[in-house]
Structure 1
Amino acid sequence: MILLEVKNVTKRFGGKEVLKNISFTLNEGESLGILGKSGAGKSVLLHMLRGMEGYEPDEGEIIYHVSYCDNCGYVDVPSKDGEKCKKCGSTLKKIEVNFWKDKNYLYNLKKKIAIMLQRTFALYGEKTVIENILEALHQAGYEGKEAIDKALELIKIVKLEHRITHIARDLSGGEKQRVVLARQIAKEPFIFLADEPTGTLDPQTAKLVHSALKELVIKNKISLILTSHWPEVIAELTEKAIWLDKGEIIAEGSSDEIVNKFMEQVGKFEKPKIEVEIKEDIIRLENISKHYCSVERGVIKAVDNVSLTIKENEIFGLVGASGAGKTTLAKIIAGVLPPSKGKYWFRVGDEWVDMTQPGPLGRGRAKRYIGILFQEYALYPHRTILENLTEAIGLELPDEFAFMKATHTLVSVGFSEEEAEEILNKYPNELSVGERHRCALAQVLIKEPRVVILDEPTGTMDPITRNIVANSILKSRIELEQTYIIVSHDMDFVLNVCDRAGLVRNGKLIKVGKPDEIVKLLTEEEKEEMLNQ
């Protein structure tokens, strides 16, 4: 039975069509993947299907076919027509709801539409995992022992038994996403919308979320619409797919068929043949360590006795599985964290600055020459992209020069000149997550640092954009005489862009060498997490 009809939907923002004449249907219990590059319109479509404010179609209709209880407002799938309402015992009847026009039904329908958004965790931060899930179950009508049993069942399926009493704000991104999934399923939805649910997670954590989606959504025959810029996710979790490009459906069919067509466009990455002069050392670490004390685990050696040199104009990869100590080491190199012991020098001109010393003559003198883009970056939401790239970060330039410099920097991270000029007057919430990520990278580059540290730079990028950014990193180190440190568990990206790489394991630097030499040293577990090829 048809559950959802999207009929000739068009949506405009600022006069630009971000969705153009979109039409498709979804049957009860069916799974649909929406594949496309960053900025294709995937998130806008899901926000529209959820009924989020500001996403009403400018043209066309969203029609839901459901069974409805006139007595209490309970909503279920259309095949439940004529059955007893689970909530009050009245008879359900099948109705057709024009979602954005039949306002009488909007509130009750939205309560039963589950959604997982990328980089957004709708949790009660100060409450524990089980309290968060019980809260959702209480709203769905579960009480007492029944609610507790159901909560424990959900926690087991999302594999968070070891985190039951942990406060939500202290969880990792992947753990938060699994709590969100459990909370959404507690609502007993008739449809589940997942917007890039694993786009920013490492492969191992993503597998846990995918497994939970299969167990809770697909196995229970809940209709699923899932967006992703990763073709393998679409192939794994959905039966049929549509390919969105610049707001239009350019292909639809089985998921395998659409994924194959998309991957033909991606093509194989070819490293540009550019002669590079690798210069003298710019960073020297000697026996650097960073230790933490934990009541439960004692002394934690996040970084353990690391010695390393990085040369000017080099692209150096810090690689390793999740939790290996890469990000902690990167924060020490950036001057964000002081080491517990060891020596660290950074070259400014011909002088070596002691980065273990605080103050304007120590770390403060060199930090202005180091740019870092963390995984958890943030743009200023109430400023345009042009303002984010200039005055918001203290870069005061004449208007015309600011526009020119910002445009040039956006082009260097993979936008066309036309796209860059268009994006400069937009606000961050008008861009896709992948576009925001590249703008955040531009925000680092526009300050012209000597060394740029990128922490998991490919997390939110589709394969095509990933290749564009790889090329822009390789070219910008020539044009801007830039030194890069790429912190990543994405070994394929490191193989494409890095001159050398260092393998970090349990806080120790195991080996430094050419990226293809490092691949040979990976354990089977590391290969599973770090290699896509």
Structure 2
Amino acid sequence: MSLNQKITVVDSTNKKGGRMILLEVKNVSKRFGDNLVLKNINFSLEEGEVLGILGRSGAGKSVLLHMLRGMEGYEPTEGKVIYYVTMCDNCGEVDVPSKDGQRCEKCGKGTLSKTSIDLWGDDEGVYNLKKKIAIMLQRTFALYGEKSVIENILESLYSAGFEGKEAVEIALKLIKMVKLEHRITHIARDLSGGEKQRVVLARQLAKKPVIFLADEPTGTLDPKTAKLVHETLKNAVVKKNISMIVTSHWPEVVAQLSNRVIWLENGEVKKVGDSKEVVEEFMSSFKEFKKLEMEVEIKEKQIVLENIEKRYCSVDRGVVHAVNGVSLDIYEKEIFGIVGTSGAGKTTLAKIIGGVIPPSRGKYLFRLGEEWIDMTKPGPMYRGRAKRYISMLFQEYALYPYRTVLYNLTEAIGLELPGEFARMKALHTLISVGFTEEEAEKILDKYPKELSVGERHRVALAQVLIKEPRVVILDEPTGTMDPFTRNMVAESIHKSRKELEQTYIIVSHDMDFVLNVCDRAALMRDGKIVKIGKPEEIVKILTEEEKEDMGL
């Protein structure tokens, strides 16, 4: 029996607008417990078409893309996901439908014939189909951290069945395509976020995919680096006529990359149409991003830094001054921003303030009550003592996937409270980060995979706040947020600052967010602080490169 005898043969009339249909989503709904996250979704995708998906946080975008990839736990509750492809009658290789009747490029022996595969059914070709579905996920790089760029790409090629000289030649072409020739031998963990995303892109392209799914592929990147990754997507995917479905918290990017857009709202399709028209209507549904005004009395100094330095030794660059002679004061209940281009030293400075890493030299004092703690000294009476009162939310936050939101907010972080009190405190904290009381009640007993990425991000923020820290450090807090969620988080920061008397330090490339939220900000260049002042004053001295990097 040949590999595709059990698979329905697709009629050659399966076309739309002169092009073959590659994917059809039929009456798809998805429930997680009692929560209906997708409701009666219907659409088709042509071979070579780019489809954008828009929607606020919690609309169901990521759930839909996970379902189209065939990821475990995301099977439709109702409906079907059908791929119309060709399959080799000798080796089972899957390819696009327009190659019907052609010789298989992989084995060189068999012939490609049209078939349809129910991704969530028991069709024999599902395993081979999944190998040809590429995906880039937000906040997930999925690289071999200790292997070089070329080794990471070769691993993907080996998995796809390429060997020896052929694999090396393809890897070099992919590296050139994603513009990483200058990083071939660099270890993956040492790359910047944008470089890591381009390695992920190359690894996915190594599969020779029939479809490319991009779920917020640049969510954690600054605007300048994101633009480079978007251009790479255009050149490596769109111009190669690979079908793509893309979501982004930057609607204008969806408009630029896609031909057609689906607008999801509360798990349902609200509108489908021309990308520019749908994006324009979607953006008009948001409130204007206004400066928040909340009267809060800024108290005495909380943090004092004097001539702080952090040096690293690099094989390529010798001694690197990541932070070079930084002096600043941060006041209790202040919301203080740290801004600058990629590589300016922002995150390193934040880690020093958070007690995650010690400075190489300089003075750092942290006030506890009336006592000043020397943070340059290790041990339970010094840095260890103060760290209990500082919480930091990193870009690559993680929740326990097989534990409920309530568990993640309490027992997972060592917060041992009586049952009802723990629930009450968790509810209060969730409300403080922008959930309504009804929404907070609903999500407490859910698992992270049942939440949208924006909702998971707010739960992670709640996980930081529930520990009642004196100082909260947020590293790129708006990375994957749509404008609506950004507004909610901005409001929740101001609300918790006032009600819980917390001090915030916000590291961000999102200057609009800093303007909206922060009382003061420091601009960093090459590890040094060049100016401290009101965010509006910082904007006036930004270079054109800095403005581009910060989305202005």
TM-score normalised over the length of structure 2: 0.93
Aligned to 2:83: 64
CA shift for structure 1 position 383: 2.4
Q: How many residues align?
A: 532
CA shift for structure 1 position 47: 1.5
CA shift for structure 1 position 175: 2.0
CA shift for structure 1 position 102: 4.2
- Report the 3-state secondary structure (helix = DSSP H, G, I; strand = E; otherwise coil) of the residue aligned with 1:85: coil
Aligned to 2:233: 213
Aligned to 1:371: 391
- Report the 3-state secondary structure (helix = DSSP H, G, I; strand = E; otherwise coil) of the residue aligned with 1:265: coil
Q: CA distance change for structure 1 residues 296 and 18 in 2, over 3 Å: closer, same or farther?
A: same
- Report the 3-state secondary structure (helix = DSSP H, G, I; strand = E; otherwise coil) of the residue aligned with 1:103: coil
2:37 equivalent among 5, 10, 18? 18
Higher deviation after alignment, 190-199 or 496-505: 190-199
Give the partner amino acid of 2:21.
I
Question: Is the contact between residue 269 and residue 467 of structure 1 (CA under 8 Å) also seen in structure 2?
Answer: yes
Aligned to 1:344: 364
CA shift for structure 1 position 468: 0.6
2:187 equivalent among 154, 162, 167? 167
Aligned to 2:60: 41
Give the partner amino acid of 1:85.
C
- Distance in 1, Cα, partners of 2:50 & 2:529: 44
Aligned to 2:11: none
2:127 equivalent among 107, 112, 123? 107
- Report the 3-state secondary structure (helix = DSSP H, G, I; strand = E; otherwise coil) of the residue aligned with 2:244: strand
Aligned to 2:96: 77
Identity %: 74
Aligned to 2:46: 27
Higher deviation after alignment, 487-496 or 88-97: 88-97
Higher deviation after alignment, 218-227 or 37-46: 37-46
Determine whether 1:504 maps to 2:524.
Answer: yes
Higher deviation after alignment, 101-110 or 136-145: 136-145
Question: Is the contact between residue 261 and residue 272 of structure 2 (CA under 8 Å) also seen in structure 1?
Answer: yes
Q: CA distance change for structure 1 residues 280 and 47 in 2, over 3 Å: closer, same or farther?
A: same
- Distance in 1, Cα, partners of 2:313 & 2:130: 46
- Distance in 1, Cα, partners of 2:362 & 2:356: 16
Question: Is the contact between residue 279 and residue 312 of structure 1 (CA under 8 Å) also seen in structure 2?
Answer: yes
- Report the 3-state secondary structure (helix = DSSP H, G, I; strand = E; otherwise coil) of the residue aligned with 2:303: strand
- Distance in 1, Cα, partners of 2:480 & 2:233: 20
- Distance in 2, Cα, partners of 1:273 & 1:197: 33
- Distance in 1, Cα, partners of 2:379 & 2:70: 51
Q: CA distance change for structure 1 residues 123 and 347 in 2, over 3 Å: closer, same or farther?
A: closer
2:432 equivalent among 405, 408, 412? 412
Question: Superposed, which structure 2 residues align to 1:197-212 within 5 Å?
Answer: 197-212=217-232
1:476 equivalent among 469, 476, 496? 496
* Deviations, residues 212-255 of structure 1 (Å, cap 9, x unaligned): 21111100111111122321221121111101122111111111
Aligned to 2:14: none
Question: Is the contact between residue 11 and residue 18 of structure 1 (CA under 8 Å) also seen in structure 2?
Answer: yes
Determine whether 1:522 maps to 2:542.
Answer: yes
- Distance in 1, Cα, partners of 2:71 & 2:119: 11
Q: CA distance change for structure 1 residues 150 and 338 in 2, over 3 Å: closer, same or farther?
A: same
Question: Superposed, which structure 2 residues align to 1:114-129 within 5 Å?
Answer: 114-129=134-149
Give the partner amino acid of 2:231.
S
Give the partner amino acid of 2:90.
N
Question: Is the contact between residue 339 and residue 521 of structure 2 (CA under 8 Å) also seen in structure 1?
Answer: yes
- Report the 3-state secondary structure (helix = DSSP H, G, I; strand = E; otherwise coil) of the residue aligned with 1:266: coil
Give the partner amino acid of 1:456.
E
CA shift for structure 1 position 27: 0.8
- Distance in 2, Cα, partners of 1:340 & 1:122: 32
Determine whether 1:194 maps to 2:211.
Answer: no
2:167 equivalent among 116, 139, 147? 147
Aligned to 1:252: 272
CA shift for structure 1 position 497: 0.5
- Report the 3-state secondary structure (helix = DSSP H, G, I; strand = E; otherwise coil) of the residue aligned with 2:440: helix
CA shift for structure 1 position 428: 2.1
Structure 1: stretches of 5+ with no match in the other structure: none
- Distance in 1, Cα, partners of 2:359 & 2:167: 47
* Deviations, residues 452-502 of structure 1 (Å, cap 9, x unaligned): 111111112111100110011112111111111111111111000011111
Question: Is the contact between residue 158 and residue 208 of structure 1 (CA under 8 Å) also seen in structure 2?
Answer: no
Question: Is the contact between residue 292 and residue 517 of structure 2 (CA under 8 Å) also seen in structure 1?
Answer: no
Q: CA distance change for structure 1 residues 153 and 366 in 2, over 3 Å: closer, same or farther?
A: same
RMSD of the TM alignment (CA)?
A: 1.7
Aligned to 2:485: 465
- Report the 3-state secondary structure (helix = DSSP H, G, I; strand = E; otherwise coil) of the residue aligned with 1:364: helix
Higher deviation after alignment, 358-367 or 421-430: 358-367
Give the partner amino acid of 1:59.
E
Question: Is the contact between residue 35 and residue 230 of structure 1 (CA under 8 Å) also seen in structure 2?
Answer: no
CA shift for structure 1 position 139: 4.0
* Deviations, residues 332-377 of structure 1 (Å, cap 9, x unaligned): 1112222222212112112222222222332233222222111122
1:4 equivalent among 6, 23, 31? 23
Question: Is the contact between residue 519 and residue 534 of structure 2 (CA under 8 Å) also seen in structure 1?
Answer: yes
CA shift for structure 1 position 445: 0.8
CA shift for structure 1 position 126: 3.7
- Distance in 2, Cα, partners of 1:248 & 1:457: 28
Give the partner amino acid of 1:318.
I
Give the partner amino acid of 2:99.
K
Aligned to 1:423: 443
- Distance in 1, Cα, partners of 2:323 & 2:146: 30
Question: Is the contact between residue 239 and residue 254 of structure 1 (CA under 8 Å) also seen in structure 2?
Answer: yes
Q: CA distance change for structure 1 residues 189 and 296 in 2, over 3 Å: closer, same or farther?
A: closer
Give the partner amino acid of 2:394.
F
Higher deviation after alignment, 93-102 or 366-375: 93-102
CA shift for structure 1 position 327: 1.2
- Distance in 2, Cα, partners of 1:147 & 1:396: 53
Question: Is the contact between residue 36 and residue 243 of structure 1 (CA under 8 Å) also seen in structure 2?
Answer: yes
- Distance in 2, Cα, partners of 1:145 & 1:223: 28
